[in-house]
Amino acid sequence: MDVVSPELNSLLPERSWTRRQLSISISGTPSPLLTLKPALATSTATTRTTDSVTGTSITTSGLQKLTAPFTISAANHQIILNKVAQATEAAKAAGAAPQVLKQDGQKLLVTTIGKPGQPIVLQLPHAGAKPGGAKPGGAQAPGEPKSPTPQFKVVTIGGRAEQKPAVSGAANQLPTLQAQQLKTVQIAKKNPTFSAAPIKLIIAKTVNSKGLSPQTSVPSVITGRVLTQTSPVVPPRTITLSEPHSTSLQSLPGKKIAISPLKSPSKVTVVSVASPTSNASQKSVTLPVNVALGQQILTVQQSASGSPVKVQTSQTSAQAVKPGQSVAVGSVGGSQFKAIIPLAAQPNVQQIQVPGSRFHYVRLVTASTASSTGGTGGTGGAAGTSGASTSSKPMVVSAGPVRMSVPIVPAQTVKQVAPKPLGSAPQVVSAAQTQQRLIMPATPLPQIQPNFANLPPGTVLAPAPGTGNVGYAVVPAQYVTQLQQSPFVTLASSSGFPAAPGIQTQARLPVNGEPAHVPDVWLLRYCDCFANGEFCNNCNCNNCFNNLEHETERMKAIKTCLDRNPEAFKPKIGKGKEGESDRRHSKGCNCKRSGCLKNYCECYEAKIMCSSICKCVGCKNFEESPERKTLMHLADAAEVRVQQQTAAKTKLSSQISDLLMRTAPVVSSGGGRLPYTFVTKEVLEATCECLLEQAKRAEQAQLPAPEAERLVLEEFGHCLMRIISSAAKAKADCSSMSC
DNA sequence: GAGTTTGAAACT
DNA sequence: CAGTTTCAAACTC
């Protein structure tokens, strides 16, 4: 479950360590404290760094006792918890809340992901330790005692006693774990800004509601996870990982945030944020932990802006992700994460990819988002989203129906949302600008209520209450381009959804006000782009409605499809049942003639074998099928041949190119280097001079014209002969020199 | 490239 | 649930 190591404090503004509290709450959950699922040993420890405390039981404030032996030593600034796993296992068995060690308001969240019986060492900050560059240009809350920000060398989680640097090399590899999902996300480096306000770290996540525990239960549709630092004085401030300028996230050293998944208490998700101040800030930081089966680890790493981001999961191979791109892990409907990475190139457009959903979403952030100052935390189902010094608002996922939204403008004001170039502050095009047009009254579109679980195109992420005119639209990635090109403008309206306060709707119409033709939904059903939740782009489709110009109609079609089949936009290929590691078709194929050995078969096309849920006839796409084996062999052989041919072609091409380069004489002809080209500009000029000279001689001799022409032609022939002779000689010389 | 085959999706 | 329709991709020639 959600676990936060003390290093999380390094994410926070420079504040007194002893007054600092870290907590994790799920977006939408009222409790500001860490809602740790006790599936694995997790505990929250509040310690006093001035004293050395040893014992076996600490009464927590409202939480459980930590019965495991522990040692808190101020001398070495460590907290050693022994066999916490066992203790927390008991808590788990009892279904109890996470354990907390609490003294003087200082709280450490400890997880025992590792083996039972091995101690957990938490490196506490040294008294008087300096922030260590953790607060570049940060602001501190007025009146707040200025205290050094602790530097955490290491927080070892998972039964490892040795301390490791916060940023380590690739040597720290997770051990091979079965049924474990390792997810590594790098977060683009962000400009550090600071605020003393408490910080919430939100990792949006689509949640399978079935796996939600009471503590993490959120409104049924969507949820998020929030790491919260609470303060009795300053209202909580929320920062999402997606914030392009999220403050302390990148400015504090050594951050490892362990977050447990919402879905299942048996899973543990670890978010590790590398230190940007470290020289190895871009290196992979992997928390060396032993994780039990079924655990899920999400490692969030920080990297310099502009550097590629790698996403590593246990299911998919590493792939390069550009800064600003969203990184998606997991799959829709499961315990997946939606890690939102700031879009470096377009600060006000953040792409969000929902794992497995094949959708590419972007978050549109307006200037008001960036400039808005401070706000109280979220209310009700929606987590707090206001950020005092952040340039963009955290994505807030809320319960209930979610509706597409763009930055909402009060009254009749129209805002055009368009990606801005890198470096430019997010802006909202005001109504006075030329491209703005008032399209339609701000009325809700109740018919557009996509289910966030499915995250169809146009899903809305609502702004937090009290955050002003800020909305978030989750739209397909193509939306970004189309927003730039489209003559349409968006008009948002207030939401009428009681279950989703702040969720707003939008409606779009052509600029000329003409009502868009309602497309035949049927036409969209067979469009792969539409089925994939994408806008058509460079397709050959005629009268295409799957574009931004027909967004309203498209949204209706989406809703129609979802009404008909709530899983219409979910990927067909997913993981099998519990224990089935292989992928399989969610519905199974229905082939009759192809024997499931042609690409007509969706199973075969996905390179998976048919399963028991398939209704195919004469299926030959199973493990022992000789036809399938033969086909596989043939395919492999064909692939080998293609590779060999490609290699041969490449080699031949290279040889020819090399030969031409070596045999080409160094003869300049108009700047070009032409092989065996001797008719250069100089040769031509010389030849012409010879011909002219011959003509002058004929003229001086007063020869008749035909005779003069004959002399000129003869001279031309002599010139050609000399050119040819020179070329042959040069070639012979080149051959003799083996050049 | 045109025509045919095939299966998914939607409809009845 | 079965049959039909429609469609687009896969496939064949």
Helix (H) or strand (E) holding A73: strand A70-73
Residue nearest to nucleotide B6 (CA to C1'): A600
CA distances from A618 to A96, A162, A564, A588, A605 (A): 53, 59, 30, 14, 17
Backbone φ, ψ for residue A181 (5° rounding): -110, 115
Residue A363 in 3-state DSSP? strand
Confidence of residue A302 (pLDDT cuts 50, 70, 90): very low
Strand B nucleotides in reach of protein CB atoms, 7 A cut-off: 5-11
List the beta strands (DSSP E) in A539-671: 573-575, 583-585, 668-669
Confidence of residue A225 (pLDDT cuts 50, 70, 90): very low
- d(CA A583, C1' B6) / Å: 24
Q: Is there a contact between A191 and A247 (Cβ–Cβ < 8 Å)?
A: no
What is the predicted pLDDT for the residue at A577?
A: 54
What is the predicted pLDDT for the residue at A708?
A: 87
- d(CA A527, C1' B5) / Å: 20
Domain residue spans of chain A: 3-169+176-344, 345-571, 578-619, 668-736
What is the predicted pLDDT for the residue at A738?
A: 54
Q: Is there a contact between A352 and A366 (Cβ–Cβ < 8 Å)?
A: no
For residue A594, give the nucleotide whose C1' atom is nearest its CA. Answer: B6
Euclidean distance between CA atoms A504 and A512, whole angstroms: 24
Six-digit token string for A647: 């290699």
- d(CA A634, C1' C12) / Å: 19
Q: Name the nearest CA neighbour of A80 among A9, A175, A11, A163.
A: A163
- d(CA A575, C1' C2) / Å: 30
The set of residues with CB closer than 7 Å to nucleic strand C is A 522-523, 526-528, 541, 598-600, 605
Q: Name the nearest CA neighbour of A450 among A537, A551, A544.
A: A551
CA A3 to chain centre: 22
Euclidean distance between CA atoms A34 and A636, whole angstroms: 52
Q: Is there a contact between A552 and A516 (Cβ–Cβ < 8 Å)?
A: yes
**One-character DSSP codes across A111-133:** EE-S-TTS-EEEEPPPTT----S
- d(CA A328, C1' B8) / Å: 28
For residue A523, give the nucleotide whose C1' atom is nearest its CA. Answer: C7
Angle (nearest 5°) at CA A222 between A180 and A108: 60
A506-510 — which CB contacts under 8 Å span 24+ positions? A506/A404, A506/A405, A506/A406, A506/A445, A506/A473, A507/A439, A507/A440, A507/A443, A507/A445, A507/A552, A508/A439, A508/A548, A508/A551, A508/A552, A509/A439, A509/A440, A509/A552, A510/A549
**One-character DSSP codes across A299-315:** EEEEE-TTS-EEEB-SS
- d(CA A240, C1' C9) / Å: 42
Residue nearest to nucleotide C9 (CA to C1'): A600
- d(CA A582, C1' B4) / Å: 34
Strand C nucleotides in reach of protein CB atoms, 7 A cut-off: 6-11
For residue A527, give the nucleotide whose C1' atom is nearest its CA. Answer: C8
- d(CA A303, C1' C6) / Å: 50
The set of residues with CB closer than 7 Å to nucleic strand B is A 521-522, 525, 561, 564-565, 568, 572, 587, 589-596, 598, 600-602
Q: How many CB atoms lie within 10 A of CB A687?
A: 18
Q: Who contacts A712 (Cβ-Cβ below 8 Å, separation ≥6)?
A: A691, A694, A695, A698
Angle (nearest 5°) at CA A330 between A324 and A332: 100
A711-715 — which CB contacts under 8 Å span 24+ positions? A715/A690, A715/A691
Q: How many CB atoms lie within 10 A of CB A379?
A: 15
Task: Assess whether pLDDT exceeds 50 at residue A662.
Answer: yes
Task: Assess whether pLDDT exceeds 60 at residue A568.
Answer: yes
Q: Name the nearest CA neighbour of A36 among A57, A63, A66, A17.
A: A63
Task: Assess whether pLDDT exceeds 70 at residue A434.
Answer: no
- d(CA A463, C1' C13) / Å: 58
Residue nearest to nucleotide C8 (CA to C1'): A526
What is the predicted pLDDT for the residue at A611?
A: 86
CA A718 to chain centre: 73
- Strand bridging mode A359-364 / A672-673: unpaired
- d(CA A407, C1' C8) / Å: 38
Q: Is there a contact between A497 and A403 (Cβ–Cβ < 8 Å)?
A: yes
Residue A319 in 3-state DSSP? strand
User: Exposure of A71 by Cβ count < 10 A (0-12 exposed, 13-18 middle, 19+ buried)?
Assistant: middle
- d(CA A558, C1' B5) / Å: 30
For residue A528, give the nucleotide whose C1' atom is nearest its CA. Answer: C8
Average pLDDT taken over every residue of chain A: 48
What is the predicted pLDDT for the residue at A739?
A: 55
For residue A616, give the nucleotide whose C1' atom is nearest its CA. Answer: B7
List the beta strands (DSSP E) in A345-446: 349-354, 359-364
For residue A529, give the nucleotide whose C1' atom is nearest its CA. Answer: C8
pLDDT per position as a tens digit, A437-463? 323 333 333 333 333 333 443 333 333
pLDDT per position as a tens digit, A356-412? 333 344 444 333 333 333 333 333 333 333 333 333 333 333 333 333 333 323 333
For residue A521, give the nucleotide whose C1' atom is nearest its CA. Answer: B10
Q: How many CB atoms lie within 10 A of CB A155?
A: 30
Q: Name the nearest CA neighbour of A591 among A564, A577, A609, A574.
A: A609
User: Exposure of A345 by Cβ count < 10 A (0-12 exposed, 13-18 middle, 19+ buried)?
Assistant: middle
pLDDT per position as a tens digit, A169-220? 333 433 333 333 333 333 333 333 333 333 333 333 333 333 333 333 333 3
Residue A725 in 3-state DSSP? helix
Q: How many CB atoms lie within 10 A of CB A666?
A: 5
Task: Assess whether pLDDT exceeds 60 at residue A593.
Answer: yes
